[in-house]
Chains A and B, each alone.
Chain A
Amino acid sequence: MPKADLLDPQGKAVAGALSRLGHDTITDVRIGKRFELTVEGEVTEQVLADVATLADEIFSNQVIEDVTSIRVDEAQA
């Protein structure tokens, strides 16, 4: 997600549109990204640690964004 204290022009534009449509109860919109990764085999602690490093170093830029959560979903059989 873009850091909370930074302007998010994309979210602001969407919030403006919602306001024009009469959705007055929504006061703010912030837009982030979600990455879905597929791994081979079991999601071990090591895999999770690697993904956390990737999230910090490549998927996000810590100067402008925060990684808010990393979640494991079992693949559908």
Chain B
Amino acid sequence: MTHRIGVVTFPGSLDDRDAQRAIRIAGAEPVALWHADHDLQGVDAIILPGGFSYGDYLRAGAIAARAPIMTEVISAANAGMPVLGICNGFQMLTEAHLLPGGLIRNEKGNFIRRDQGLIVESTDTAWSNAFTQGQEIVIPLKNGEGGFIASNEELDRLEGEGRVVFRYSGSNPNGSMRDIAGISNAAGNVVGLMPHPEHAVEPGFGPDTQNAMRSGTDGLGFFASALTALLAV
């Protein structure tokens, strides 16, 4: 049976089509979900894509986090369904209180776009089990408000519970506390990160590698992980 992974489109989403494409390339069936519906169409997993939902008005992800479909997304996430928030989707997950902490404007105030090295810190999640602990992967990063912040107690809890899933390798691009690029909830089914795995899934269109230009496909591991997690259910 082909697993069905939903991608929610909000007003201002940009990377919803790329996420759908990545799901297809990974061997699953993408399902377009709409922010104003109260219907998850029976999907097995959900991706909240990147972009600038509602023009980042109020706070990045804040209005989208209160969209009609988020009622169902939050229930599904709490029931254990794999949910991945990428960039603006990560911001939504923090605004919806599915993940702790928050994202603020980059330390230097500018928008950053570059191929970004990440260290996989935890493989114990629905979206990172295809990697090995300590593995370095490279996927694109592109954001203006990617500085992850949380209280020291919260950061200690995240570290202690192994919920820091990805950490920036090399120089910290946005002032994120403890170089955190992505985190998970306690159960490991909900993961949010600022960099974009869906832009590194197809040779010819990914980051440069030592082998060839634009040949990087490290993003595929995220989607392969979800399929493994779904098979285990």
Chain A positions near chain B (C-beta within 8 angstroms)? 2, 6-7, 9-10, 12-13, 58-59, 61, 63-64
Q: Are A6 and B104 in contact (CB under 8 A)?
A: yes
Least CB distance, B132 to chain A, in whole angstroms: 32
Q: Are A61 and B108 in contact (CB under 8 A)?
A: no
Q: Are A9 and B59 in contact (CB under 8 A)?
A: no
- Nearest residue (CB) in B for A13 is B109
Whether B94 sits at the interface, judged by CB under 8 Å, is yes
Query: Given A7-B175, A63-B149, A58–B66 Cβ distance below 8 Å?
Result: yes
Q: Which of B62, B105, B147, B151 contacts A61 (CB 8 A)?
A: B62
Q: Are B109 and A2 in contact (CB under 8 A)?
A: no
Query: What size tier do the contact residues of chain B reach?
Result: 20 to 34
Q: Are A64 and B102 in contact (CB under 8 A)?
A: yes
| Further contacts, 17 of them, CB under 8 A, given A6-B149, A7-B175, A64-B102 | A2-B104, A7-B107, A7-B147, A9-B104, A9-B106, A9-B107, A9-B108, A9-B109, A10-B105, A10-B109, A12-B109, A58-B66, A61-B62, A61-B95, A63-B151, A64-B59, A64-B149
Number of A-B residue pairs, CB cutoff 8 Å, is 37
| Residues of chain B with a CB closer than 8 A to A6's CB | 104, 149
Least CB distance, A74 to chain B, in whole angstroms: 27
Whether B232 sits at the interface, judged by CB under 8 Å, is no
Whether B150 sits at the interface, judged by CB under 8 Å, is yes
Whether B58 sits at the interface, judged by CB under 8 Å, is yes
Query: Given A6-B149, A7-B175, A58-B66, A63–B102 Cβ distance below 8 Å?
Result: yes
| Residues of chain A with a CB closer than 8 A to B107's CB | 7, 9
Which of B101, B109, B151, B175 is most buried by chain A, counting CB atoms within 10 A of its CB?
B109
Q: Are A63 and B150 in contact (CB under 8 A)?
A: yes
Q: Are B175 and A61 in contact (CB under 8 A)?
A: no
List 6 A–B pairs whose Cβ atoms lie within 8 Å, in order of A's numbering. Answer: A6-B104, A9-B109, A58-B66, A59-B58, A61-B59, A63-B101
Bound Cα distance from A27 to B149, whole angstroms: 24
| Residues of chain B with a CB closer than 8 A to A7's CB | 104, 107, 147, 175
| Residues of chain B with a CB closer than 8 A to A2's CB | 104
Bound Cα distance from A23 to B107, whole angstroms: 23
| Residues of chain A with a CB closer than 8 A to B101's CB | 63
Which of B59, B66, B95, B151 is most buried by chain A, counting CB atoms within 10 A of its CB?
B59
Bound Cα distance from A13 to B95, whole angstroms: 26
Within B53-101, which residues are at the interface with A (CB < 8 Å)?
58-59, 62, 66, 94-95, 100-101
